Amino acid sequence: MSNKNIISENIIEIRYKPIPEILDYRGGLATAISHHMSLPHWKIDQNRVDVHDKEERLRVFASFANAGIVLRNADGDEFVQLANQYLRFLLKRRPYQDRTLITRIGCKTRIGYISPLGFEDLFLKYSSVIHISDAYKEIINGEIVDVGFPINFRTEIGNLDSAGGPMAKEQLKKFFSFVEEDKLPESALYVEFDYWNKPEKEMSSNQIASLAIDYANENWKKAERIKELILADQ
Protein backbone atom coordinates (compact mmCIF):
# COMPACT_ATOMS: atom_id res chain seq x y z
CA MET A 1 0.00 0.00 0.00
CA SER A 2 1.59 3.28 -1.08
CA ASN A 3 1.15 6.65 0.59
CA LYS A 4 0.46 9.56 -1.76
CA ASN A 5 1.88 12.09 0.69
CA ILE A 6 5.37 10.65 0.70
CA ILE A 7 8.04 9.28 -1.54
CA SER A 8 10.28 6.76 0.15
CA GLU A 9 12.88 4.06 -0.16
CA ASN A 10 13.49 1.51 2.58
CA ILE A 11 16.43 -0.88 2.56
CA ILE A 12 17.50 -3.60 4.97
CA GLU A 13 20.78 -5.34 4.25
CA ILE A 14 22.30 -8.17 6.29
CA ARG A 15 25.91 -9.13 5.61
CA TYR A 16 27.35 -12.40 6.83
CA LYS A 17 30.38 -14.63 6.56
CA PRO A 18 30.21 -15.98 2.99
CA ILE A 19 28.09 -19.12 2.64
CA PRO A 20 29.23 -20.88 -0.55
CA GLU A 21 26.48 -23.52 -0.17
CA ILE A 22 23.96 -20.88 -1.29
CA LEU A 23 25.20 -21.43 -4.85
CA ASP A 24 23.65 -24.91 -4.71
CA TYR A 25 20.32 -23.59 -3.39
CA ARG A 26 19.66 -20.71 -5.79
CA GLY A 27 16.84 -22.35 -7.73
CA GLY A 28 15.06 -23.61 -4.64
CA LEU A 29 15.44 -20.25 -2.90
CA ALA A 30 14.02 -18.38 -5.89
CA THR A 31 10.96 -20.65 -6.06
CA ALA A 32 10.33 -20.64 -2.31
CA ILE A 33 10.78 -16.88 -1.89
CA SER A 34 8.58 -16.15 -4.92
CA HIS A 35 5.78 -18.24 -3.45
CA HIS A 36 6.15 -17.00 0.14
CA MET A 37 6.30 -13.30 -0.76
CA SER A 38 3.78 -13.52 -3.66
CA LEU A 39 6.35 -12.02 -6.02
CA PRO A 40 6.11 -13.38 -9.58
CA HIS A 41 9.44 -12.28 -11.05
CA TRP A 42 12.87 -13.61 -10.23
CA LYS A 43 16.43 -13.51 -11.50
CA ILE A 44 19.25 -15.91 -10.71
CA ASP A 45 22.80 -14.66 -11.14
CA GLN A 46 26.06 -16.46 -10.56
CA ASN A 47 25.94 -15.96 -6.78
CA ARG A 48 22.68 -14.11 -6.08
CA VAL A 49 18.91 -14.49 -6.28
CA ASP A 50 16.56 -11.50 -6.76
CA VAL A 51 12.77 -11.79 -6.51
CA HIS A 52 10.47 -8.84 -7.21
CA ASP A 53 7.13 -7.55 -8.43
CA LYS A 54 6.55 -6.22 -11.95
CA GLU A 55 7.21 -2.57 -11.04
CA GLU A 56 10.10 -3.45 -8.68
CA ARG A 57 8.44 -1.53 -5.87
CA LEU A 58 9.31 -4.53 -3.72
CA ARG A 59 12.50 -6.51 -4.24
CA VAL A 60 14.14 -9.09 -2.00
CA PHE A 61 17.51 -10.73 -2.52
CA ALA A 62 19.87 -13.34 -1.13
CA SER A 63 23.48 -14.01 -2.07
CA PHE A 64 26.45 -15.93 -0.71
CA ALA A 65 27.51 -12.83 1.31
CA ASN A 66 24.38 -10.74 1.97
CA ALA A 67 20.59 -10.65 1.91
CA GLY A 68 17.96 -7.98 2.19
CA ILE A 69 14.83 -6.21 1.08
CA VAL A 70 14.09 -2.98 -0.79
CA LEU A 71 10.64 -1.38 -0.65
CA ARG A 72 9.73 1.90 -2.34
CA ASN A 73 6.89 4.36 -1.82
CA ALA A 74 5.51 2.70 1.29
CA ASP A 75 4.86 3.66 4.88
CA GLY A 76 6.66 2.22 7.88
CA ASP A 77 4.01 -0.33 8.79
CA GLU A 78 4.09 -1.97 5.37
CA PHE A 79 7.87 -2.07 5.33
CA VAL A 80 8.12 -3.62 8.79
CA GLN A 81 5.50 -6.24 7.95
CA LEU A 82 7.15 -7.29 4.68
CA ALA A 83 10.69 -7.23 6.08
CA ASN A 84 9.63 -9.36 9.02
CA GLN A 85 7.82 -11.79 6.70
CA TYR A 86 10.85 -12.17 4.44
CA LEU A 87 13.71 -12.32 6.94
CA ARG A 88 12.10 -14.83 9.30
CA PHE A 89 11.30 -17.06 6.32
CA LEU A 90 14.67 -16.82 4.60
CA LEU A 91 16.97 -17.22 7.58
CA LYS A 92 15.35 -20.46 8.72
CA ARG A 93 15.85 -22.12 5.34
CA ARG A 94 18.85 -24.04 4.17
CA PRO A 95 21.68 -23.26 3.89
CA TYR A 96 21.30 -20.68 6.69
CA GLN A 97 20.28 -23.35 9.21
CA ASP A 98 18.87 -20.79 11.67
CA ARG A 99 22.28 -19.51 12.87
CA THR A 100 24.50 -17.19 10.83
CA LEU A 101 27.74 -15.34 11.52
CA ILE A 102 26.66 -11.74 11.01
CA THR A 103 29.18 -9.06 10.08
CA ARG A 104 26.74 -6.16 9.59
CA ILE A 105 23.05 -5.34 9.90
CA GLY A 106 21.75 -2.07 8.49
CA CYS A 107 18.46 -0.37 7.72
CA LYS A 108 18.34 2.82 5.67
CA THR A 109 15.14 4.83 5.27
CA ARG A 110 14.82 7.79 2.91
CA ILE A 111 11.59 9.80 3.00
CA GLY A 112 10.41 12.88 1.15
CA TYR A 113 7.44 14.36 2.97
CA ILE A 114 5.40 16.26 0.39
CA SER A 115 4.16 19.63 1.61
CA PRO A 116 2.13 22.43 0.00
CA LEU A 117 4.86 24.81 1.18
CA GLY A 118 7.30 26.08 -1.40
CA PHE A 119 11.01 25.58 -0.88
CA GLU A 120 11.57 29.01 0.70
CA ASP A 121 8.80 28.56 3.28
CA LEU A 122 9.95 25.01 4.00
CA PHE A 123 13.49 26.30 4.45
CA LEU A 124 12.29 28.93 6.96
CA LYS A 125 10.35 26.28 8.89
CA TYR A 126 13.33 23.95 9.02
CA SER A 127 15.75 26.74 9.95
CA SER A 128 13.56 27.78 12.87
CA VAL A 129 13.99 24.31 14.38
CA ILE A 130 17.61 23.51 13.45
CA HIS A 131 19.63 26.08 15.38
CA ILE A 132 22.82 27.52 13.93
CA SER A 133 24.65 29.72 16.42
CA ASP A 134 25.18 33.42 15.78
CA ALA A 135 28.91 32.88 16.32
CA TYR A 136 29.02 30.35 13.47
CA LYS A 137 26.99 32.59 11.17
CA GLU A 138 29.26 35.52 11.99
CA ILE A 139 32.33 33.53 10.92
CA ILE A 140 30.73 32.66 7.56
CA ASN A 141 29.43 36.21 7.11
CA GLY A 142 26.84 35.30 4.50
CA GLU A 143 23.14 34.64 3.99
CA ILE A 144 21.95 31.08 4.65
CA VAL A 145 20.05 29.90 1.58
CA ASP A 146 19.82 26.18 2.33
CA VAL A 147 20.37 23.93 5.32
CA GLY A 148 20.86 20.20 5.70
CA PHE A 149 23.78 18.20 6.98
CA PRO A 150 24.68 14.74 8.29
CA ILE A 151 24.59 14.07 12.03
CA ASN A 152 25.78 10.70 13.36
CA PHE A 153 24.81 9.17 16.70
CA ARG A 154 25.50 6.16 18.88
CA THR A 155 22.40 4.69 20.58
CA GLU A 156 21.61 1.76 22.86
CA ILE A 157 20.66 -0.48 19.92
CA GLY A 158 23.22 0.61 17.32
CA ASN A 159 24.80 3.41 15.33
CA LEU A 160 22.53 5.94 13.63
CA ASP A 161 23.58 8.13 10.72
CA SER A 162 21.11 10.86 9.79
CA ALA A 163 20.64 13.60 7.22
CA GLY A 164 17.81 15.83 6.14
CA GLY A 165 16.50 19.21 5.17
CA PRO A 166 14.23 20.96 2.69
CA MET A 167 14.81 19.82 -0.88
CA ALA A 168 13.76 21.18 -4.26
CA LYS A 169 12.90 18.86 -7.13
CA GLU A 170 16.43 18.92 -8.58
CA GLN A 171 17.83 17.59 -5.29
CA LEU A 172 15.06 15.04 -4.84
CA LYS A 173 15.87 13.55 -8.26
CA LYS A 174 19.28 12.46 -6.94
CA PHE A 175 17.83 10.55 -3.97
CA PHE A 176 14.67 9.18 -5.62
CA SER A 177 15.86 8.39 -9.13
CA PHE A 178 13.21 5.66 -9.43
CA VAL A 179 10.44 8.31 -9.46
CA GLU A 180 9.56 9.86 -12.81
CA GLU A 181 10.57 13.52 -12.82
CA ASP A 182 7.07 14.81 -13.57
CA LYS A 183 5.79 12.94 -10.51
CA LEU A 184 8.27 14.51 -8.11
CA PRO A 185 7.00 17.41 -5.97
CA GLU A 186 8.49 20.88 -6.41
CA SER A 187 9.78 20.63 -2.83
CA ALA A 188 9.66 18.24 0.10
CA LEU A 189 11.07 17.72 3.57
CA TYR A 190 13.80 15.11 3.19
CA VAL A 191 14.59 12.80 6.11
CA GLU A 192 17.18 10.02 6.06
CA PHE A 193 18.04 7.59 8.84
CA ASP A 194 20.54 4.75 8.57
CA TYR A 195 20.66 2.44 11.60
CA TRP A 196 23.49 -0.12 11.60
CA ASN A 197 25.67 -2.36 13.70
CA LYS A 198 28.54 -4.81 13.19
CA PRO A 199 27.86 -7.75 15.53
CA GLU A 200 30.69 -9.98 14.22
CA LYS A 201 29.08 -13.00 15.90
CA GLU A 202 26.69 -15.86 15.29
CA MET A 203 23.04 -14.89 15.64
CA SER A 204 19.79 -16.84 15.37
CA SER A 205 17.24 -16.00 12.69
CA ASN A 206 14.96 -14.51 15.36
CA GLN A 207 17.74 -12.30 16.71
CA ILE A 208 18.70 -11.09 13.25
CA ALA A 209 15.14 -10.34 12.17
CA SER A 210 14.26 -8.68 15.49
CA LEU A 211 17.23 -6.31 15.34
CA ALA A 212 16.59 -5.39 11.70
CA ILE A 213 12.92 -4.73 12.46
CA ASP A 214 13.84 -2.65 15.50
CA TYR A 215 15.99 -0.50 13.23
CA ALA A 216 13.18 -0.12 10.69
CA ASN A 217 10.69 0.85 13.40
CA GLU A 218 13.08 3.37 14.95
CA ASN A 219 13.86 4.96 11.58
CA TRP A 220 10.18 5.58 10.91
CA LYS A 221 9.32 6.72 14.44
CA LYS A 222 12.09 9.30 14.34
CA ALA A 223 11.18 10.43 10.83
CA GLU A 224 7.53 10.88 11.77
CA ARG A 225 8.47 12.93 14.83
CA ILE A 226 10.64 15.20 12.70
CA LYS A 227 7.81 15.59 10.22
CA GLU A 228 5.48 16.62 13.05
CA LEU A 229 8.09 19.04 14.35
CA ILE A 230 8.62 20.76 11.01
CA LEU A 231 5.20 20.32 9.36
CA ALA A 232 2.94 20.25 12.40
CA ASP A 233 0.31 22.55 10.87
CA GLN A 234 0.39 21.07 7.37
Q: What is the 3-state secondary structure (H, E, C) of the chain?
A: CCCCCEEEEEEEEEEECCCHHHHHCHHHHHHHHHHHHCCCEEEECCCEEEEECCCCCEEEEEECCEEEEEEECCCHHHHHHHHHHHHHHHCCCCCCCCEEEEEEEEEEEEEEEECCCCHHHHHHHHHHHCCCCHHHHHHHCCCCCCCCCCEEEECCCCEEEEEEEEEEHHHHHHHCCCCCHHHCCCEEEEEEEEEEECCCEEEEHHHHHHHHHHHHHHHHHHHHHHHHHHCCCC
Closest CA to 208 of 19, 48, 14: 14
Partners of 151 in the beta sheet?
162
In the prediction, which pLDDT does 206 show?
Answer: 94
Q: Average model confidence (pLDDT) for the chain?
A: 91
Q: pTM, whole model, 2 decimals? A: 0.92
169 within domain boundaries: yes
Closest CA to 11 of 53, 64, 74, 54: 74
In the prediction, which pLDDT does 1 show?
Answer: 44
pLDDT at 21 over 90: yes
| Distance in angstroms (rounded) separating the CA atoms of residues 123 and 127 | 6
- Quickly state the pLDDT bin for 201 (edges 50, 70, 90): very high
Of the listed ranges 2-16, 42-56, 160-174, the one predicted with least confidence? 2-16
pLDDT at 132 over 80: no
127 within domain boundaries: yes
pLDDT at 234 over 70: no
99 within domain boundaries: yes
1 within domain boundaries: no
The stretch 205-218 carries a mean pLDDT of: 96
In the prediction, which pLDDT does 161 show?
Answer: 96
- Quickly state the pLDDT bin for 3 (edges 50, 70, 90): low
pLDDT at 216 over 50: yes
The answer to whether the beta carbons of residues 37 and 71 sit under 8 Å apart is no
125 within domain boundaries: yes
18 within domain boundaries: yes
191 within domain boundaries: yes
Count of domains in the chain? Answer: 1
Domain residues for the domain of 106 are 6-230
Selected residue with higher pLDDT from 107 and 151: 107
pLDDT at 232 over 80: no
In the prediction, which pLDDT does 29 show?
Answer: 95
Of the listed ranges 9-13, 131-135, 146-150, the one predicted with least confidence? 146-150
Selected residue with higher pLDDT from 87 and 134: 87
Closest CA to 122 of 147, 142, 143: 147
220 within domain boundaries: yes
pLDDT at 158 over 80: yes
